[in-house]
Structure 1
Amino acid sequence: MTQLMNYLPKEHIQVKDKISTWQEAVKITSQPLLEEKKITPVYVENMIDSVYQNGPYMVLADYFALMHAKPGIGVCKQSMSLLVTKNEVDLAGKPIKIFLVLAATDSASHLESLQEIMEVFMDEEKYQLILKGNLTDVIQVFQ
């Protein structure tokens, strides 16, 4: 899990009580990566455009969306950020509470960290803990 902490440090994890739209959620989730110059605004726009063009294919499980766009474009450094909302946000007809932004510099180097993070989300106990949206608990799951 050490690699995971490098890509998803606690500074990249947020919990919000209410988010109105999935577009707002993507922008809020991306904020730490923008501030650290790991991604550019182009990447954020590409993630949003990708949903408009391809539908909700980024929804991988109940309440969980893995937000991403084409590797490399607008990505300065491989990174991740996470937002948990206490309300359900409609993403093209799917209710989402967990937004994970994955910024990859190429099509392969992120696969190991993605596998590690998916192991966390596939653990039902940890998944339910994340869904509850207690920031301290969510951070602990990824430490």
Structure 2
Amino acid sequence: MAALNDLLPQAAVRLDVRVADWREAICAAGGLLVETGAATDTYTAEMIRNVEENGPYLVVAPGFAFAHARPSPAVLRTGMSWVRLEQPVEFGHESNDPVQLVVGLAAEDSGAHTAAMAALAQLLADPATARALQDAAGPEVLHAVLAGPEGEREREDRPRDEEAVRERAASDEPASEQTATEQATADEGATDQAASGQPGSARAVHTILTVCGNGVGTSLFLKNTLEQVLDRWGWSRHVTVEATDTISAKGKASEAVVILTSREIARTLGEVGVPVRVVEDFTSGPEVDRILRDTYDV
């Protein structure tokens, strides 16, 4: 699978771009995809139409929009672009506006860029690395942050660090702060329930769907965050996470225990026979952790 830096060449990076609104922001990201040979101008129009039809669900985290559309003939090869705006703009998202970083994705299919999406989600979930990316002085510095091996090892370890998880949870929602002892006790309870065989446990292989409008972009971000939480719980062998689109999700809903998605996509899905839980920040492990604990009553 393609690595993040392979899909995001330095020529596809623009910093401190001035735009008037979200459409111009997407045009800036789409223009870089065209310049680097990943897509045609038609794909930029498709990305804009995706927001017009499905809402601003692609604003997956505070200040960050992941612009993309379905694979189509307008995609020439899988590639990405990176646009940091001089001044943030509103996309219309209830909690994650305004947006200052727009990453564009042109995907030939739903599989070739999975590893790159997982890497990007982990980068943006780490506050220190996210700040380094936000403050990068130029494309070369940005690439160095994306590829840094030391940072890579640190990001792999950090989701398993109780202290870091607790600090991030406190910053997301101070009222729900837990001590390390309380967190460890809760994790033990989750593991016990997984092994208990009781209804709602994870002894059998459960399926959780992460859903976006196209199944190739934001749902992969959320899938990665969810898998990180499941790995920390020790539930990875018991729960399968599948990223999919709204149409496929309706057909697969009966096989799932819960669907995780954005507020906009939840409205589109409607009643599907299983719980649909809204995630505001697709890169936030603590938020997904809370939703899982509520779903499994642990």
TM-score, structure 1 length as denominator? Answer: 0.89
The equivalent residue for 1:37 is 37
Mapping for residues 108-119 of structure 1, pairs under 5 Å = 108-119=111-122
8 Å CA contact 1:83–1:98 kept in 2: the answer is yes
Mapping for residues 120-135 of structure 1, pairs under 5 Å = 120-132=123-135, 134-135=137-138
42-51 or 90-99, larger mean C-alpha shift:
90-99
- Report the secondary structure of 2:130's partner residue: helix
Mapping for residues 99-114 of structure 1, pairs under 5 Å = 99-114=102-117
The equivalent residue for 2:57 is 57
Deviations 1:103-123 (A, max 9, x none): 100122221111111111111
Structure 1 distance, partners of 2:115, 2:61, is 20
14-23 or 76-85, larger mean C-alpha shift:
14-23
TM-score, structure 2 length as denominator? Answer: 0.45
- Report the secondary structure of 1:44's partner residue: helix
1:17 positional shift: 4.9
1:86 positional shift: 2.8
Structure 2 distance, partners of 1:39, 1:140, is 25
8 Å CA contact 1:84–1:130 kept in 2: the answer is no
- Report the secondary structure of 2:90's partner residue: strand
Structure 2: runs of 5 or more not aligned: 148-298
The equivalent residue for 1:92 is 92
Structure 2 distance, partners of 1:99, 1:56, is 12
Structure 2 distance, partners of 1:46, 1:138, is 27
Structure holding more strand per residue: 1
Deviations 1:5-27 (A, max 9, x none): 11011111111253211111111
8 Å CA contact 1:129–1:137 kept in 2: the answer is no
8 Å CA contact 1:63–1:97 kept in 2: the answer is yes
Compared with structure 1, are the counterparts of its residues 91 and 73 closer, same or farther at alpha carbon in structure 2 (3 Å cutoff)? farther
Structure 1: runs of 5 or more not aligned: none
The number of aligned residues is: 142
Structure 2 distance, partners of 1:68, 1:91, is 14
Matched, 1:71 2:71: yes
The equivalent residue for 2:143 is 139
Compared with structure 1, are the counterparts of its residues 133 and 89 closer, same or farther at alpha carbon in structure 2 (3 Å cutoff)? farther
- Report the secondary structure of 1:61's partner residue: coil
Report the identity percentage: 26
Larger Rg: 2
- Report the secondary structure of 2:3's partner residue: helix
Deviations 1:12-50 (A, max 9, x none): 111125321111111112222212331011110010001
